[in-house]
Amino acid sequence: MGFSEMTHTFIVAKYYVHLTEAFGERGKEAFIHGTRYYGGQRGRRMAQRAIRDGKELNYETYCRYSEWLNTEEAKELGIVNQVDVTSVAPDYEMHIHVCPWHYQFTKMGLKDAGLAYCSVLDASICRGFNPEIVYEVPQTLHDHDYCIQTIRNSGLSPDTKLEKKPEGIRSFEYHCAHAYWAFHEVAAAIFGAAGAKTGARVLEDFAKEYGTEMADTIAGYKDTNFNVI
């Protein structure tokens, strides 16, 4: 297996485990803060590309400048995102019935980690892209039969096409490294050396699960500035 939605989830989930084991409720708050920090960085990169291209920072542009696509691994497992669009205007609403992140959190027995992550991630990405867009996630697959994501006053019409721009897509190697180092930065900022140790434990767990070569690849992104394109 290469880098995918599942390896990405593994990193995030293990940060939840080690932060909460080491710091209890403060660790959970640090994890949620780290999720928002990570999501905001993703959204700001998307906005930078859109501004460079002269695009308005609206929800249509947000969709087009998304940085990921489902991997072949997710397709082979039959867990690519399955979405029903229940409303387009004035509010755009999606019901997500299958998701590879939900699959991996569930496989790891870490529902609480999935709930903490998924309840704030997408709104955080959107806030980083343009804080004036109202993006709500009132329920997730971790505590309901399906996830609901709602974008208020989306500005879309039934004829709007939301295909992602291929030049903005980033590999899951990049996304995994970004997640690892974003949470590492937050953990170390809040808890100092003890927080940095949680990152070391996450990477050790990752190496045991997926091999030292993939773990070394993530470590090699240490000096990458994930705030900019």
Structure tokens at 137: 């996630």
Q: In sequence order, what are the residues at sequence separation of 6 or more whose Cβ sits closer than 8 angstroms to the Cβ of residue 41? A: 128, 178, 182, 226, 227
The domain locations on the chain are: 5-219
Lowest-pLDDT range, 46-50, 161-165, 174-178? 161-165
pLDDT at 221: 98
Provide mean pLDDT across the span 72-89: 98
Provide mean pLDDT across the span 141-166: 96
The pLDDT tens digits for 169-220 are 999 999 999 999 999 999 999 999 999 999 999 999 999 999 999 999 999 9
Distance, in Å, from the CA atom of 127 to the CA atom of 39, rounded to the nearest integer, reads 8
Is pLDDT of 1 > 90?
no
pLDDT at 215: 98
- Chain-wide mean pLDDT for the chain? 98
Task: Say what the pTM is.
Answer: 0.97
Q: In sequence order, what are the residues at sequence separation of 6 or more whose Cβ sits closer than 8 angstroms to the Cβ of residue 200? A: none
Provide mean pLDDT across the span 62-71: 98
Per DSSP, what are the bridge partners of residue 82? 98
Is pLDDT of 88 > 90?
yes
Distance, in Å, from the CA atom of 153 to the CA atom of 151, rounded to the nearest integer, reads 7
